[in-house]
Structure 1
């Protein structure tokens, strides 16, 4: 089996429109939540979200290209371009037949779908749809467009597993490369779900926070008074590469990927298993693949969306798997700052985990004022301030509607 490393990263998030600002604001504990500006939300129970600030597609695309891309594809293309530059990839020097793209999305072109369907119902004569309607809404469109833009002829597809999607994209890139089926894969995910239909749908499920009087503190993972997640938007992209390819290029290496676990709760379409069975199995599978014990994990980036049963089921899985080691395990919840990017969340959290491994700094969990008493008091949840810690192994969790569970293990590269 080949060793697999991360050599480039790119991000566009509610707390930073590039890798440097995203990481800096994570460490600073900055909240990305605020009142929705994308549309009039005054009639909604939830009137806030984690939007990307001051975004203009014409800062990144010409007018003609921007019209062909849904917002989720724009975000994904932006993050991918940054990751490619960050890795100093020169595709002219690589075998493009062995360079792939696995870019995920949980929903795809939600904004375009809503605009076109609403527009259709408002037309009285000769109803029309945009000729780019289909190519803008399909979730795999982003992966295909990246492949076309850079002429990459390797593996190309889009995992769609709700909020586990982009973590699974990274795990699958890891698998293809270590089996020798590719040299380099651009992996990650993107989502742009801040629309009337999305906010209305999640609110109807009673899944979202309604803390409209104080959006900045609404995402409060592990807090006894948490009342739901805060939706976010954005994208993350990683250059996943064989160690051999990276060394041949003289590339900088952020971290090594050593394990990935993918399991199912097999319980409920939206609710997590009460005891976190799928999460437990995914983490256990990742540990077995990495060939390490739970006690060797130094840091865990939790899925922790700030929902009542969801946070507790993950904590139960962690406590069950790590046992007494939880006293030495550092856990954090970056969604307290970014909100929940759905299909894009695993990618930006894998990026944060990679940075933590490389720099020995763990971002805080913000807004958690009173830890749920069900949680073991010896578990360090990285509350309020960033933490310095030498990290050899780190684990990042992602779970999605449908019972999809994914866990990714990164190792300090030596």
Structure 2
């Protein structure tokens, strides 16, 4: 019997804001919310962005003056809405008008030229055509005969000026002792903390309920930490005359999100790892977690991803591939002479007439438990993930071109839903969260994958969503965006429309699809399942099946019985009260990320080891060494 991996908490930060309690989802459809939910999400964004604070039981505006909620919302709503989701790249990331692009040159001289340098600026290896004279202990005179190789500092206008950026003013590194952490790591600390605190059950209680090695963390990103505090500085600093630091190399690794969570948030000694699979990275990590829980190897697993690629060098790399929406192409699409702020917000147009994807940053985490542990602890259950399928493309001509693997992953996902919930559920009450990158190639190839799968399973009007139209493409974390935002549909009953696409392209395959540029009202229980789809660069394809909370509840009731479910409901009320308190405190800006530096650090001398178990000081249970022989038939 397989354990069912259920979702008991989720959180993070994206261009839509904080993910827990569906705040990120709410930002996508503010006009569909009631006043209370809308106001809470706007206030949450305002405190994240530094536009408001809460002190002495009242809100304060940015100047520190007391303000009623209505007055505060009236004043900050335009700024909140304009400074979230996809928008023109802001100076917090880099100045789009002054992108570094230095020019090498050779100075040709008819005669000798002379100049002075400080002694510490002199090159270690003096060129053969230099004559050097010391003017003082700190000043040197250089005379050059012949050519002189130089690099002129220069800047240019960015060719790509749109991106999905975290809410303007949000600085995760100021919420804890970030110690020169790359932006990605700062986002990880915030995102993982948000997910854990959203559960409503203290982590210490969860950890005490299982053995230390029954806990897992699978988290990573697709391209590492590429800002100056990570691999970006490591590779760039020597060429611009800066000193490489001792932190840039280790902090650049793509599995650092998992490492930091284990070391500074959870103190976990359980299984750890970070898969790499381009755009499918989050779903690869999710697959590892699902497999572990189903097999009984793990009881609780934190899955996550964190990508911060809104960096001028990364953007230029994708642009040179022809992958990004350049300003000149956006102008051509709409026959414009100049792009306005609204035009930048509509840069990503999945399945429409488009010209490239919009890069984005995001950090998303989801906590999974085995179904028996969730009921035992009284965890709130937001859905379940029975399976994640991953397949390669086979032989390819171009490594970046799409292939056949996604037909397999999506087909298997549809087949599983049909087997578990029945054909009618698949055909009438399932939808697809498309990869939906907004490239001309993706709109044709992915629509063909989804449409052909729909035909094969008798789905005549398969609803397809594409959340990147709001928040952009966060690379390896994109699957986390899809998962955590999809959960909101079962709370509020809407599937967000592809609102930036004015009309869908004529070359897409949509005979059996339902694509809409308006929000689709389905009701909180109108959909039984969703398939999260990723078509990754290089042939990394993954599709995950996510079951609705009402379906998950039916399955748990059948497995565990009414008495067990009644006991669970009693515990659930306490969990929800604690979780709600965290949410309310976060809305007011009163919470802080979990960060336990130099906390309960153990060495081998602290452990008690015998042939049956290992005792770890500070851990409620031991690590069992009673290991089954999986190959008894071969001994």
TM > 0.5 between the two?
Answer: yes
Work out the CA distance in 2 between the residues paired with 1:245 and 1:48: 44
Displacement of 1:169 in angstroms is 1.0
Partner-residue secondary structure (3-state), 1:169 = helix
Greater mean deviation of Cα atoms: 353-362 or 2-11: 353-362
User: How far 1:45 moved relative to its partner?
Assistant: 1.6
Q: 1:308 to 1:28 in 2, by over 3 A?
A: farther
| Residues 264-322 of structure 1: per-residue CA shift (max 9 Å, x gap) | 1233321212xxx2111011223445534553651111001001111211111111111
Q: Could you tell me which residue of structure 2 aligns to residue 157 of structure 1?
A: 273
SS at match of 1:231: coil
Counterpart in the other structure of 1:189: 305
Match of 2:165 among 43, 51, 67: 51
Range moving further from structure 2, 337-346 or 255-264: 255-264
Q: 1:47 to 1:279 in 2, by over 3 A?
A: same
Name 1:135's counterpart in structure 2.
250
Task: Give the root-mean-square deviation of aligned CA atoms.
Answer: 2.0
Deviates more, 1:324-333 or 1:144-153: 324-333
Give the equivalent residue in structure 1 for 2:431: 299
- Cα deviation 1:129-179 (Å, max 9, x = unaligned): 111112210011110110112111221000111110001111211111010
Quote the Cα distance in structure 1 between the aligned partners of 2:516 and 2:12: 23
Deviation for aligned residue 1:353:
1.9
| 2:19–2:484 CA contact under 8 A, matched in 1 | no
Q: TM-score, normalised by structure 2?
A: 0.61
Instruction: In structure 1, list runs of 5 or more residues that go unmatched.
Output: none
Higher normalized contact order (CA 8 Å, seq sep 6+, divided by chain length): 1
Question: Matched residue of 1:258: which SS?
Answer: strand
1:80 matched to 2:209? The reply is no
Alpha-carbon separation, structure 1, partners of 2:219 and 2:161 = 30
Give 1:378 deviation, angstroms: 5.1
Number of residues of Structure 1 aligned to a counterpart in Structure 2: 404
Q: 1:359 to 1:181 in 2, by over 3 A?
A: farther
- Structure 2 residue aligned with 1:71: 183
What SS class does the counterpart of residue 380 from structure 1 fall into? Answer: strand
Distance 2:255 2:512 in 1: 43
Tell me the SS of whatever aligns to 1:197.
helix
1:326 CA displacement? 4.2
Q: CA deviation at 1:377?
A: 5.1
How far, CA to CA, are the matches of 1:209 and 1:182 in structure 2? 42
**Within 2, Cα distance between the matches of 1:263 and 1:359?**
33
Q: 1:183-234: CA deviations, max 9, x gaps? A: 00000211000111101001100100113722111100011x2000000001
For the residues of structure 2 that align with 1:358 and 1:21, how far apart are their CA atoms?
A: 11
- What does residue 385 of structure 1 align with? 519
Please point out which of 155, 175, 193 is paired with 2:291.
175
Q: What does residue 543 of structure 2 align with?
A: 407
Distance 1:354 1:133 in 2: 36
- The answer to whether the 8 A contact 2:173-2:183 is kept is no
Aligned match of 1:113: 231
Do structure 1's residue 235 and structure 2's residue 363 form an aligned pair? Answer: yes
Does the alignment pair 1:203 with 2:292?
Answer: no
**Where do residues 226-375 of structure 1 align in structure 2 (5 Å cutoff)?**
226-266=354-394, 267=396, 268-273=398-403, 277-289=404-416, 291-292=419-420, 293=423, 294-295=426-427, 298-323=430-455, 325-374=458-507, 375=509
Which residue of structure 1 aligns with residue 94 of structure 2? 39
CA drift of 1:17 comes to 3.2
Query: Which stretches in structure 2 are left out of the alignment for 5+ residues?
Result: 32-80, 98-156, 332-338, 554-635
Q: CA deviation at 1:91?
A: 3.4
Aligned counterpart for 1:376 among listed residues 483, 495, 510:
510
Whether the 8 Å contact between 2:10 and 2:19 is mirrored in structure 1 is no
- TM (normalized to structure 1)? 0.92
Residue 358 of structure 1 and its aligned partner are, at CA, apart by 4.6
Contact 1:357 1:411 in 2 (8 A): no
Structure with the greater alpha carbon radius of gyration:
2
Paired residues of 2:299 and 2:369 also in contact (CA < 8 A): yes
Post-superposition offset of 1:97: 2.1
Q: Aligned partners of 1:35, 1:391: CA distance in 2, in Å?
A: 35
